[in-house]
Amino acid sequence: MHQYVIVDVFTTVALQGNPLAVFPDAVGIPAERMQLIAREMNLSETTFVLPARADGDRRVRIFTPINELPFAGHPVLGTAAVLAVSTEVDRLRLETAGGTIPVDFSHRSDRTVTAAMRQPIPVRESYARQGDLLDALGLESSTLPVDAYRNGPRHVYVGVESEAALGRVQPDLRTLARHPDMAAICFTRSGSSEGSGEHWRMRMFSPAYGVSEDAGTGSAAGPLAVHLARYGLVPFGTRIEIVQGVEMGRPSRMFARAEGNSSQLDTVEVEGSVVITAHGTLLA
C-alpha cells in the first residue's frame, strides 16, 4: 500500500487550479508501475518522491498518463508543497531528470503553501511547422513570432488578439496530436491590464503529452515571461501574472519573472500557491 496526496496547484481554493497526485514515499515502486499509477490517476501529472541521489533533498519522477517528463512546473511546486507541510525548512532542492530545482517557501499553513521555484533556463528553438500548428488551433496568425522553448517539455507559443479570441480557440486535437513532443501555448494580454503588460491569460493544449487541455502549466509560465521580454512587451525582470484554466472552470494563477537579457538569461522563476485537497491509499 502506498499513501498519496491530492493537491490543487496555483490556487488557494480547493477544487480549482491544476490537480496533482503526489506519492511522498515511492521507494519500491518500479517505473513501469509508476506509469500505470499515473494512468489510473488520470491527472495531467502524478509525482513520485524518492531519496536524493545528488545535490538535492529529494528526487522526483514526473509522469503524465502516457509518459515520463524530465521536468514540469506544477508537479514540482505541488510536490514541494506536500513535503513542506511536514517540515520547517525555508527551501527544498528537488532533483528531477531536468536538473535540481530550488523551491523557496514564503507562506505555509496546515493545508496551503506559497512557494517559488527557479526553473531550468529554457532553450529557444525554431518551429518549422508554424502553418500546420495555426491550422490545428483554428487560427490565421500569431501576434508574435511562433517560437518554441524547451525546459524539459517543449512549449510552442502562439499569441492571440484578445481574451475573447483566446476563449474561442477550439483546437483539432487529432491534428494537434500529430505534432509530437510539444505543447501548444496560446496567450494574450489580460483585458484588465491594457498598457501595463503585467497581466496575461494563457491556455495550453498537448494531446501529444496525453493532456487535451491543462489548467495551470508552470513549466510554460517561465518561458512565457522570457518570450514577452524578448519581443519587448515587458521589460526583463518584470514580475508578470498569468491566469490559466478559466475555460476549464479551474482558474490557476501564476507569477513569473525572467532576469537577464535577450542574449543571456540569468534566472527564470515561477511562483504560486498550493492547497492540499485529499489524502488516499493505493491498494494495488
The grid coordinates listed for 190 are: 489580460
Task: Give the CA distances from residue 139 to residues 47, 242, 264, in Å, rounded to whole numbers and listed in that order.
Answer: 34, 21, 32
Task: Give the CA distances from residue 21 to residues 49, 79, 91, 188, 189, in Å, rounded to whole numbers and listed in that order.
Answer: 11, 9, 21, 30, 31
The residue to which cell 493545508 is assigned: 111
Measured from the Cβ of residue 69, the count of other Cβ atoms closer than 10 Å reads: 19
Cross-strand partners of 114: 107, 273
CA 108 to chain centroid, in Å, comes to: 21
C-alpha triplet 20, 120, 74: angle, nearest 5°: 10
Any idea which residues carry the catalytic annotation? Answer: 45
